[in-house]
Structure 1
Amino acid sequence: MFPRFPKYWPLAALLLVCASPSALAQRVSAKDKVAADVLVQRMATAEQRYNNALVLAANGDAKGVTESNAALEDMEDVVDACVKQRGCPMSDLLATWKRLLKAEIDTAGEELDEDPGEEALLEADTALAADIPEAARAARLLGDDNRHAFDRMVKFNPAIQAGIRRWLTDMRPQLMDSYENYQVMRHLMWPEFERRGLPEALLFGIMAKESNGRVHAVSRAGAAGPMQFMPATGRRFGLGPDDSGFDSRYDPRSAAMASAAYLNERLRQLNNDMELSLAGYNGGEGRALRVHRQSGGTGFWDASVYGQFPAETRDYVPMVIAAAWIYLHPRQYGVSFPKVDAHPATFKLARPASIYELTICLGNHGNRDGYMRTLRNLNPRYEAESWIPAGTTLNATTRVAGLYARHCSGGARTDLARALVTADVNAAIVSDTRSGNVAVGEVVPLPGDAAFVPAPVPAAKPKARTHRVAKGDTLGRIAQRYGCEVKTLARANGLKAPGYSVRQGQQIRLEGCSR
């Protein structure tokens, strides 16, 4: 049972602030300002208390409802006091109310067949302030994040419609996977696009088409990460191997930041033509700029321009726009995106573990596919099979953190998961050894003794350990897997800093490795 937001806020308070805007312009003494600041801090504390209560409720803790009700009572007291306090910024308190109303609708959405979307939020605004049109209008303005700006940046045509058809038929599973993966990483990626003035739908569309939201995705051509940067392009925007060997193309925040910077660069070059900018993202910035200049600024859909891009790019552009369009208008197409526990949280490992082990012991409560993708996307530095030391803090969601505390810090399920991930297939093979005497080596006499003993067999020279580079491998990943130092491996294999680049199929000598 989740806590529920009260149906009506103290409407008299909202009416006063909306009907008397001149009150905010009155002179405020230093004493009044201090008192008003105290109320603002009380509201912030109550808001945090309410959010913590939602987490408790989501994890099945009965305290969640009690705590949420107490937090809401605190907020009501603050609003009442704010009405009486000269200089109290009621608009700030209204913004807090707005955030909590949105959180309540998100929570309630778990019980609906469809995502309520913007319409439900605006209906809630209207129901809450039906008798105060000014308050409803203010709430709507606070909620207007210009989320449909993308609609005005592209052309909706039959090519986009064909892309929507594909996403909603045989590619629907990839669309849903993309949405779930994106929601978990949204707090890392979306702010980077927002800071650079780019619409969120564009971020989702590119990520869905490029990687389905899998941060470790690698293409045949060598593009990597959730936004699929090639090594050279990535280096231009600060992506690539760091001192530990980790390739930051796999980091969601860094990849989003670089992607937004790259797109803005394309938009500046191409007269803000979104379709051509996407064509440059996929088909090469040089080609896009050359075509743009030769055509005199004609758009992507003109036959003289469209025909100069490869088939892959002609498919890429409408598919990105189609995914973005569905993201903005799900109800129009009968799409109900899954409810995702996306509240960020962390947990500290009580004992060494791998992501494989954690995936098993966490189970799949609330998620059909379990939490391996969530852990990998939020902790891209760790390979799934690598052992992570005790005391390491991992990024997760509130649900994953709660499941870890319940099942994975010790106990029967933890032991079972450890047994499964360490199981060795070779241990299942039974050797049927025949009994009897077997002579080993040559028999030579010892001086002064009639007895004979077998001559020692020379020890076989240990074979040098190697690793064949697989698709997506980096030197840092190989070092992490086998317990080596990156610089030691680089020196043993003649690889030069800072890239330490390896190629698929290359044999790497595993010198100085502990595993």
Structure 2
Amino acid sequence: MSLRLRVLSPLAAVVALAGCAASPSRPPAAPNRIDDKAVDALYAKLDEASRGYEDALKMQSGGDPGADAALHKALDELLRSAAQCGATAGCEAQRFFSTFDRLLRLKDGGELAGEPAEQTLPDTQSDEDTAGEQSPVLQAMPQAQRTVTLLRGHKLSDLIAMNGPVKAALEEWLTQMRPNLMDAWVNYQYLRYRMWPEYRKADLPEALLFGILAKESGGKVHAMSRSGAAGPLQFMYATGLRFGLATVNGFDERFDPALAARANAAYIDEQLKALNDNLEFVLAAYNGGEGRMRRVAAANPDASFWDPKIYFTLSPETREYVPMVLAAAWLFLHPERYNLEFPKVDGEPGQIELAQPASLAELTVCLGQAGGMRDGWFRTLRNLNPALNPQVEQPAGTRLQVPKVLEAAYRQSCAAGPWQTLAADLHEAALPAPPPETQRPRTYVVRRGDTLSSIVRKLGCSNVQALAELNRLRAPHYALHPGQALHLPQCARN
């Protein structure tokens, strides 16, 4: 057994024995009798074990032959103290978890005896558990695309603490959110060739990309939140501009999966440098804004995201967001541990050239469920051709990005024949126009408190970008004033 594995086992036991320490919860109400001396004694043992562990790491880095025994002595003391804490009234088990979290990061720094500090792992390095079991998800991927490193060589799985919030998030993904997880997986497999290369260039783990995508949009490229965040990775307009996502020829580049992945990787890299390489802090910044998290990191350089003093100062949305992303990333790496089987998806990219004019909607009808796609191909066609309006016919000769499996299906069902005729007939159907007296108003008068996003929600169609362009409003503030009359797109309503 290697020294690394011998060290991991006692540390894992500390987490198991710590119990509630694995979850950032508020300290329970103090019982009537608290033995202050016993609690103080346990805290003293914790501090002593922590110092002993750090000293043992230094001894190992210097090649001291007694380091191994010192390390095990410190870990044994930590283990005994953690077990006693759970049975001692007034003892805050969170302290033991926070210490474990810090020691785990020290261990991940590559300071164990006989092991050089890890730098970037080679691409053939797979993310394995301590028993050497390899995820079938990674097995199915090309060897050259198994980059799972993060933070200067640390494995992503070493950075995901299996605490209460993450376990709760795992259960949510595996129960009520399971259909969303499966949809995100399928959508991502067809987008993978567009998005993953950008993460790989940044030496960021693919599992993290999937976790963010699953939580943010479920892999729906045209997703837009009520707050105005848009695209598969949900960039706000101003943040998108900061990372190169502009509006070009009327197309919002936040909807481009490759460009969005590139911007997201740049954001993650920037925030890792600013937030002490703390992954949870970075995810919290992505969800709730980096300003607050930078202040927290500056004031608490060694703090854990899960420390109640930090955890409970964040919004409920951010406290839910971070573990959900981490849990989705963990399931991406290790589905077999949770009786989870992702569907096999052939995401090899392909291309078709339209033999005659057709819209994405028409192609969806004539392709049907080709290739075993139970829910049809509308979402995938939109995701791979994000700049196209799905209802607008594209001229013959237009090249469209599609999964390779659809190339033959297009020639068989959509280039000509009865399914193509049916699709065209359905698409040409005209809805009856309302009589003149019931025509929807074509202007909207701004009221106090209105924002462009709230107006779009009231209208029920269009989007912020279209409304802003129609009224020549400048991003990112879209200045409005009460009484201002806005021109509305034809489909808009009050």
Question: TM over 0.5, yes or no?
Answer: yes
Tell me which of 463, 472, 494 is aligned to 1:495: 472
Gaps of 5+ in 2: 1-123, 125-134, 445-455
Give the structure 1 partner of residue 109 of structure 2: none
Give the structure 1 partner of residue 487 of structure 2: 508
Q: How does 1:75-474 map to 2 (within 5 A)?
A: 116-117=136-137, 145-146=147-148, 149-242=155-248, 244-365=249-370, 366-426=372-432, 466=442, 473-474=462-463
1:406-447 CA distance string (max 9 Å, x none):
1111111101011112223439x9xxxxxxxxxxxxxxxxxx
Letter in 2 for 1:192: E
Does the aligned pair in 2 maintain the 1:241–1:498 contact within 8 Å?
A: no
Gaps of 5+ in 1: 1-97, 99-114, 122-138, 430-459, 479-488
| Counterparts in 2 of 1:506 and 1:401: CA distance versus 1, 3 Å | farther
Shift of residue 385 of structure 1?
Answer: 1.4
Shift of residue 464 of structure 1?
Answer: 11
1:417 alignment partner, SS class: helix
2-structure distance, mates of 1:284, 1:276? 10
Shift of residue 335 of structure 1?
Answer: 1.0
Does the aligned pair in 2 maintain the 1:245–1:474 contact within 8 Å?
A: no
Letter in 2 for 1:398: K
Does the aligned pair in 2 maintain the 1:185–1:377 contact within 8 Å?
A: yes
Letter in 2 for 1:237: F
Larger Rg: 1
| Counterparts in 2 of 1:116 and 1:146: CA distance versus 1, 3 Å | closer
1-structure distance, mates of 2:293, 2:347? 37
2:402 alignment partner, SS class: strand
1-structure distance, mates of 2:267, 2:401? 27
| Counterparts in 2 of 1:198 and 1:410: CA distance versus 1, 3 Å | same
State, as a whole percentage, how many aligned pairs show the same letter.
Answer: 44
* Paired residue total: 334
Letter in 2 for 1:299: S
Does the aligned pair in 2 maintain the 1:160–1:322 contact within 8 Å?
A: yes
Letter in 2 for 1:495: R
Shift of residue 236 of structure 1?
Answer: 0.2
Q: How does 1:3-14 map to 2 (within 5 A)?
A: none
Letter in 1 for 2:180: Q
Q: CA RMSD in A?
A: 3.3
2:194 alignment partner, SS class: helix
Does the aligned pair in 1 maintain the 2:217–2:233 contact within 8 Å?
A: yes
2-structure distance, mates of 1:192, 1:377? 17
1-structure distance, mates of 2:464, 2:137? 45
2-structure distance, mates of 1:289, 1:340? 40
| Counterparts in 2 of 1:464 and 1:204: CA distance versus 1, 3 Å | closer
Shift of residue 159 of structure 1?
Answer: 1.4
| Counterparts in 2 of 1:467 and 1:423: CA distance versus 1, 3 Å | farther
Letter in 2 for 1:358: L
Give the structure 2 partner of residue 59 of structure 1: none
Give the structure-1-normalised TM-score.
Answer: 0.59
2-structure distance, mates of 1:495, 1:475? 12
2-structure distance, mates of 1:506, 1:226? 33
